[in-house]
Amino acid sequence: MSKENLASTAAKLTGIIPPITMPFDQNGTLVPSAIAEQVNFMVEQGVHGMVAGGSTGEGHTLNDADFTTSMRAVHDAIDGRVPFLAGLIINSTRAAIERVQMLKGMNIAALQVTPVHYLFKPSADATVQHFRTIWEETGIPIIIYNVVPWNYLSCDLMLRIMDEVPGVIGMKQSAGDLKLVSDLLHRMKPENVVLTGTDALLYPAFSLGVHGAISALTSAVPGLTVKLWDLVKAGDHKAALDLHYRIADLWDVLPHDNLPACVKYCQHRQGLPLHLPRQPMEPVNDSQKALIDRALDALLD
Would 176 be classed as within a structural domain?
A: yes
Would 281 be classed as within a structural domain?
A: no
- Burial class of 106 by CB neighbour count within 10 A (0 to 12, 13 to 18, 19+): middle
Would 209 be classed as within a structural domain?
A: yes
Would 249 be classed as within a structural domain?
A: no
Do residues 255 and 262 touch, judged by C-beta distance below 8 A?
yes
Would 20 be classed as within a structural domain?
A: yes
Domain that holds residue 55: 3-234
Q: How many degrees, rounded to 5, is the angle at CA 265 between CA 29 and CA 272?
A: 75
Tens of pLDDT, residues 247-288: 999 999 999 999 999 999 999 999 999 999 999 999 999 999
The total domain count for the chain is: 1
**Domain holding 214: CATH number?**
3.20.20.70
207, pLDDT greater than 90: yes
Tens of pLDDT, residues 220-258: 999 999 999 999 999 999 999 999 999 999 999 999 999
State mean pLDDT over 195-204.
Answer: 97
Would 298 be classed as within a structural domain?
A: no
Would 300 be classed as within a structural domain?
A: no
State mean pLDDT over 13-35.
Answer: 97
Tens of pLDDT, residues 95-143: 999 999 999 999 999 999 999 999 899 999 999 999 999 999 999 999 9
Would 291 be classed as within a structural domain?
A: no
Tens of pLDDT, residues 46-57: 999 999 999 999
- Burial class of 12 by CB neighbour count within 10 A (0 to 12, 13 to 18, 19+): middle
